[in-house]
Structures are given as C-alpha cells and as structure tokens.
Amino acid sequence: MRTVLFDPGYSACLAGISDSIELMYGAFQTTPMPLKQKKFQFSMILPKIKDMVLNNVSFYLGCLLWASYIKNFKNAEIINNPCLNTEYTEENSIEEPLYLIDFIETRLDKDSRYYINKKYEKDERFINILKTYIEFIKLNKGFVEIKTTDELILPSSIKPLDKDNLNLVKSKIDEAIKNKKLSLLFDVYSLILD
C-alpha cells in the first residue's frame, strides 16, 4: 500500500494566529500612552500583523492543496496523522480559522479605521480559504478516523487537479516548505479554488 504524509512539512512554518496576535495586541492595548503614540505604534505593528495573517491563511491553503494532491492517490495510507484516534469536538477544531475570519473582517478593519483612518483592504481569497477549510474540517470530523486517502472528503468547492496541475501543486508545496514561505502557495490558489 502506498503511503502519504498527513503533513508535508507545513507545521514547522507556523505559529498559532490567535496566540501570536493576542500577544502583540495585548501589549499594544495595555501599554498606556497618548493616542498619537498609539496611532504611531499601530502603524508600526500593522505590517507584522498582516504578515502573520498571510502566513496563517497560507497554512490553511496549504492544507487544502495537500489534501487535493493526496486525494489523487487511491487508497493510500495517510501516515503521521496526529488527530487519529483522538477526541473530536467541532468547536475546538474550527476555533483558529473562525478567530481569523473575525479578526480579518471585524477587528483589523475597526482598528485600522480608528488608529490610522484607513479601511483595512482584506483579500477575499483569505475568507474563501478559511471558510473552505472549516467545511473541510467538518466533513472529515477533525481527521480523527481518517486513515486512507479514500476516506478523505474534499469540499465540493475544491476543483479536482489534473495530472499537469498535480505536479505543479506538489512542486509549489515543496518550494514553500523548503523556503519556509507558505505565501508562495498563493501562486497555485486558482488551481483548486475560485
């Protein structure tokens, strides 16, 4: 039986979004200073926050790309699945992507308008990725029983990969992991999502 990895190496490139942002925001919000300084400080941390958001959304895109890729290998055993035989709770499984959606759609825009008088221009692909990932988690019940690629369920919004695109996706995944730059995965976003 052929084997495929559960994680091709993405986890080494990721920090938890809610923890990272909350640490940065917590320090920002609890430090007493005049509003003018707060505005300046926000303008300084915003690029870092945008990078964190991009990196974490890229992780979720990577999960969808990898699932789409390995789904092409019929009945392959998925190895090193840390979720296998654990307890599934939907709430815990989708907590991070839900947090990120709320952060992008609400909090980041609100704070941008308040501190720098600019609307936060969100990338709609981010929301599409996160919503698709949430559906993916729910369909597979947190992967607690997923042992083979035949058991893996892809959301209907994910386009199937043809042979040419299969190689292109795998090559891009390898490049992103090698360079520890998951945002490179956006180069192949349109191969699986509209």
Report, in angstroms and rounded to the nearest whole number, the Rg of the chain calculated over CA atoms: 18
pTM here is 0.93
C-alpha of 79 from chain center = 21
Q: In total, how many domains does the chain have?
A: 1
Q: Quote the DSSP letter at residue 106.
A: I
Contact 71, 165 (CB under 8 A): no
Q: Quote the DSSP letter at residue 182.
A: G
Q: By three-state DSSP, how is residue 75 classified?
A: coil
Each of the 194 residues of the chain gets a pLDDT tens digit; together they read 899 999 999 888 775 555 677 787 777 778 888 988 989 999 999 998 898 899 899 999 999 999 999 999 999 999 999 999 999 999 999 999 999 999 999 989 999 999 999 999 999 999 999 999 999 999 999 999 999 999 999 999 999 999 899 999 999 999 999 999 999 999 999 999 99
Instruction: Report the C-alpha gap between 148 and 140 in whole angstroms.
Output: 12
Structure token pair of residue 146: 């997923």
Determine phi and psi for 32, rounding to 5 degrees. -75, 130
Q: By three-state DSSP, how is residue 79 classified?
A: strand
Give the model's pLDDT for residue 72: 96
Q: Which long-range contacts (CB under 8 A, 24 or more apart) does 19-25 make?
A: 20/52, 21/49, 21/52, 21/53, 21/103, 24/48, 24/49, 24/52
**Residue listed under structure tokens 């979004």:** 17
Instruction: Report the C-alpha gap between 59 and 55 in whole angstroms.
Output: 6
Tell me the residue range of the domain where 133 lies: 3-191
Q: CA nearest 166: which of 40, 73, 104?
A: 73
